[in-house]
Structure 1
Amino acid sequence: MNELLARIKRQINDGDVDGAIIRLREIMAVSPETNAEAYYLLGNAYRKLGDWQGALNNYQEAIALDPESPAAEARDMALDILSFYNKDMFNQ
């Protein structure tokens, strides 16, 4: 399973995000309650597509399965990005 997830991670990094999402959904259909890393990778894939809600939902699932998951940091960074705005840009 770890090798498969490593290949999917490379697939996301190489830009085949849609293909990675399909593969991750297949994995989760078999064992959704046991694979925090798959949810984390799915969150990364959605983030790459600009689907912030999808990313946050999957990061949260990963955290629920494994509180030590890197999804916790990814979720916090995504929330920081979404909450950021520059007030001065609106005064130009």
Structure 2
Amino acid sequence: MEQLNTIKELISQGNVEQAILLLDELLQTDFPQKDEAYYLRGNAYRKQSNWQQALNNYRYAIDLNPDSPARQAYNMVMDILNFYHKDMYNQ
């Protein structure tokens, strides 16, 4: 789908707000690649450090397609959020 390619390009260029707006509009319609759209929206939110929205969107993508790359992205974000360095708290 051409719209998804455009959105991928916007995200890679750092235009995440515009990408999220386009994805919001796109997800209001019925099309076969909704899992990929949720995955991309998760990526856009991740780039904004909006971790909760990123995780939610990855979860939607996984629910629609268990083999989605969103599963790896979800696990990666969880690893980031669960990481802490004990020595950093003692400074």
User: Normalised by the size of structure 2, how large is the TM-score?
Assistant: 0.95
Structure 1 unaligned spans of 5+: none
Q: How many residues align?
A: 91
Structure 2 residue aligned with 1:73: 72
Question: How well do the aligned residues superpose, as a CA RMSD in angstroms?
Answer: 1.4
What is the CA–CA distance in structure 2 between the aligned matches of 1:61 and 1:15, rounded to whole Å?
23
What is the CA–CA distance in structure 2 between the aligned matches of 1:38 and 1:56, rounded to whole Å?
14
Counterpart AA for 1:65? L
Q: Which runs of structure 1 show a deviation greater than 2 angstroms over 4 or more consecutive aligned residues?
A: 31-34
3-state SS of 2:28 partner: helix
User: Normalised by the size of structure 1, how large is the TM-score?
Assistant: 0.94
What is the CA–CA distance in structure 2 between the aligned matches of 1:10 and 1:25, rounded to whole Å?
16
Structure 2 unaligned spans of 5+: none
Sequence identity of aligned pairs in percent?
Answer: 53
Relative distance call for 1:12 and 1:34 in structure 2 (3 A) is: closer
C-alpha displacement of 1:32: 7.5
Structure 2 residue aligned with 1:17: 16
